[in-house]
A and B are shown apart, each in its own frame.
Chain A
Amino acid sequence: MNAPLPLTRCPLHRTVIFAVAAISIIVFLSWSASADTAISTANQDPVAHLDALMRTHWEENEISPSSAATEGEWCRRVFLDVIGRIPTLDELDTYLNDNSGDKKSRLVDRLLSDQYSEAYTRNWANIWTNVLIGRSGGSERNSRTNRRGMQVYLEEAFGENRPYDQVVTELINARGTSRPPTASDAAPDFNGAVNFLAMKLGNNPNDPEYGTQATAKTSQIFLGRRVQCTQCHDHPFNRWKQNQFWEFNAFFRQTVALRRFEGGRNIAFIQLAEQDFQGPTGEPEEAEIFYDRRNGVRMAAYPVFTDRDGAQTELARSGFVEDVDRRAQLASLVRRSGYLPEALVNRYWAHFFSHGFTQPFDDMGPHNLPSHPDILQYLSEQFVASGYDLKQLIRGITLSEAYGLSSRLGAHNEADDPALGEAPLFSRFYPRQMRAEQLYDSLLIATRADKTGQTTADQERKRAEWLRQFVIAFGTDENDEKSTFNGTIPQVLSLFNGDLIQQSIDAESGSFLGEVIRDGELTPREKMDCLFLAAFSRKSSAKERRWANRAFANHESATAAFQDVWWTLLNTNEFILNH
């Protein structure tokens, strides 16, 4: 082992020690308060109960889990997963030097507290924006959705940790306009939540295909059920039938997404509103929709919601909004659905473990049974009991034994390899690529670009531009898309030569690297350790310092050598993987 580095001597660190100490007291108090209201259906500590369930699975599969991750690895992991970036040296130091027995829960609680509210909110608002309107939603020419509007709503919701069931209701039942207020437009009817459906609906509810995207996405995102293919035929593998797709679809037929123009044909914003639905036969008392069976037979459908275990709720068939507000009804049916909590738990589990209890996590059903039904059920019950509290769920997951395991294969869990197509057993942490957003925000920590006096709007614009280069939209009616920030050549090129990496290795004063290099109190070895800790959350080894010395011995200056060390660290697998 290396001699301990006097971390307090690293730059970045000195000024904030006092602030951290002060805040942790507040955090501790708020944590105690929330612990009372927390998960309380099981007598046992919920994390312990989760761990026990998981251990039973390991035993049944005759494997032993990997050893625990190092403290640095775990700290890096939880920062990346909860607030979307790696820890700064200070933050890492605070954690490593915390000697209390419950340091893990203290860190998680800190990340979920007001101290990190901004970072947490931004991270999850971004994640959910991508879920709800896609990575490219709102950036297309003349888009029907307003990306910023979507984010404004989500930032408000995640900022106050609004209960998830309420958020879902607000998204499904949103009414109002899509564009946030601007200098020239006070936007009194603005409701950012409308942006979820704005791009998935149109203005002609009698179009036979009307609202199919709204149907498919609402089901997939909130209920974890993929029903796209039942638009045209009964599902080949599960119990979803074609009529159920159209019965679900019928809930959206009173809703129109009206385009409001400015300057000719440019969409200024969308207004989502209800109107009476006549149905194709013009009989609003009995407003049906039609769909075709594959054999050509035309069928009628009315709003019926099919829940877990086939339980059905049928609405009155009137298309008059004053008789029955179909979308409001749908929102409350989804809110009460048994699918809602398990779909969310599976989504969040997949976020933290890179695999859900089903693969993919948002395609659940009898054709794709969960690998750990007991854990899924337990967490879902806890989630409901907590009042759909997303932070409580994150707390439970991140403090679990499984989340704290090393990504190194142990002696007795070779079989646990989802890359081999086996169901994951979560007996080790599966390394995964940082998302493009995580990399960007982590490199900001390294460049300190956020401290250069740019406005927030400027920073957001730059960030969005950088992220956009990796998005490919397929241009189909389902708004399919993918990211090329997936470990392939464009990503490597960007980290080899891109502007962001050039800024990161800038050694001017004010940059992280510049401060490390110019810090007269640090020995060269300590400087190396600062760079390693910042990139990997661990110190350098003697061997690594030897390698660096040999590689960069002939450089014209120490600055150039440190720049190249830093460039190299940022290009390694150890950096780009959340491990």
Chain B
Amino acid sequence: MLHFKSRRGASRRHFLKHLAAGAAWAGPAAHFLSTLQSQAAELKKNQKSVILLWMGGGPATIDIWDLKPGAITGGPFNPIGTSGDPQICEHLPKMAQQMHHMSIVRSMSTREADHSRGRYYMHTGFVPNPSVDHPSYGAVVAHQLEQTRPNLEIPPFVSVGGNSTGPGFLGLAYAPFIVDSNGRIRDLEMKTTESRWRARMQFLNQLESQFISQNRGPATTEHRKMLEKTNRLLTSTQMEAFRIDGEAQSVREAYGNTAFGRGCLMARRLVEVGVPFVEVDLGGWDTHSDNFNQLATKLPEMDQAMAALVADLSERGMLDQVALLWMGEFGRTPRINGNTGRDHWARSWSAVVGGAGFQRGIAVGKTNSDGTEVETTPYSSEDLMATVLQSIGISLDTRFTAANGRPMKIAGGGRPIKELLA
């Protein structure tokens, strides 16, 4: 059924204004409010979620999390001490204060060094395969945790910036809902009356069902699911989570007035209302030339936003519920090329995790003296994904049934990284 859930956009905002002013609104509103409050309390107890900080383009982790000072591959940056065990790049002074909440995996070793293949592989735990469209992290987590939040009215997988990959065989209902970092969502305002909207939905529901019943395949049912989701979202007060201008000035300043800063703040607001998976993009890491100058301007933006997010989650008591994951599609060559750049490199690189059920403040794995080889057990995308899923309590025995009827192991059958799980 397509439910009509009352109240169009204009009056919703009006309604919220009243709430903010403390005006009383008897009946349904009061009921609504109490639901929201109990929901928030429950979330703080046991609603897990994941925030993925996606570094599009493939960051030079050898200059960020696993420095090689003195090596010919090392570059000009110096390592600094942190509140955890590992040392990190001098351009991350704020993160250095938060590293007791985070851990570095320095032994990532993957095979895909092409952007689109790497993005797919790191997002799904599977290498691209023409006959199966695999679900991405966000879709898997949304699919697994959705049942635990019956009151969630907004999409369970939000991508701030849109660099994510799709829901694969789990279907469009688990597709990323893509917003820009300003949280602007087009065409949210219903341009008609409530009663006319309701009538349209009634007729639309009948026509949709009729066409679905004609047995024309999944595209017809997928369409109806999206109608339902969209209709629900139109009337939801949870949409306020996208509006970071509701935050105090001091909080916004802490995250930084950058696209990534706003995205990280929005991510916190979204997991607060119960969204199981939020992905925030920071692109521009494809530093084939002028790597070090580019990093010197890029890292501070990342440092401020990421550190503010970790600190904020920690202060709000949410860090045990929220798994954080920082990664790109691959690392970059230890060798510095003729343009002072670094090229694509998947064989030895770093990812960072934190919060949730992770062991924190450590570095797992080790690369050799010039960063070209992993010297300890190498970890794959599958292993990293299995670790993240386990950190929020998703069973690795979960099996999906792919569209072709074949059972498919969650996280590509990866094995969790033991040292990382507390």
Contacts and interface: CB of A to CB of B under 8 A. Distances in A.
A554 B220 contact: no
Contacts, number: 198
A201 to B, nearest CB: 15
A310 interface: no
Interface in A408-433: 408-409, 417, 419-423, 430-433
B134 to A, nearest CB: 11
Given A476-B56, A489-B230, A568 B223 contact: no
B34 interface: no
Given A229-B117, A494-B186, A551-B199, A573 B224 contact: yes
Tell which of B113, B200, B406 has the most Cβ of chain A within 10 Å: B200
Interface in B43-85: 56-57
A568 B204 contact: yes
Given A432-B219, A487-B226, A565 B203 contact: yes
B207 A487 contact: no
B202 interface: yes
Contact of A407 (B131, B177, B216, B286): B216
Given A229-B113, A359-B130, A421-B132, A572 B211 contact: yes
Nearest to B133: A421
B212 to A, nearest CB: 7
A569 B339 contact: no
B404 interface: yes
Given A494-B187, A551-B202, A551-B203, A573 B404 contact: no
Interface string B113-124: 111110100000
Contacts of B175: 486-488
Contact of A573 (B223, B338, B343): B223
A574 B115 contact: no
Interface in B369-408: 402-406
A359 B223 contact: no
Interface string A467-502: 001001011111010101011111111101110001
Contacts of B233: 489
B222 interface: yes
B178 to A, nearest CB: 6
> Which of B57, B190, B224, B402 has the largest number of chain A CB atoms within 10 A?
B57
Given A359-B131, A477-B115, A555-B196, A420 B403 contact: yes
A487 B222 contact: yes
A552 to B, nearest CB: 5
Given A421-B131, A489-B226, A475 B403 contact: no
Interface in B169-205: 169, 172, 175-178, 185-191, 195-196, 199-200, 202-204
A555 B114 contact: no
B151 interface: no
B131, B216, B229, B406 interface centre (most CB from chain A within 10 Å): B216
A313 B140 CA distance: 48
Interface of B: 56-57, 111-117, 119, 130-133, 155, 162-163, 169, 172, 175-178, 185-191, 195-196, 199-200, 202-204, 206-208, 210-212, 214-220, 222-224, 226-227, 229-230, 233-234, 283-284, 286, 288, 335, 337-339, 343-344, 402-406
25 contacts: A209-B288, A229-B114, A231-B114, A408-B214, A408-B215, A420-B405, A421-B131, A421-B403, A422-B131, A432-B219, A433-B219, A469-B186, A475-B284, A476-B56, A478-B116, A487-B219, A488-B176, A489-B155, A492-B229, A493-B188, A544-B210, A551-B200, A551-B206, A554-B195, A573-B212
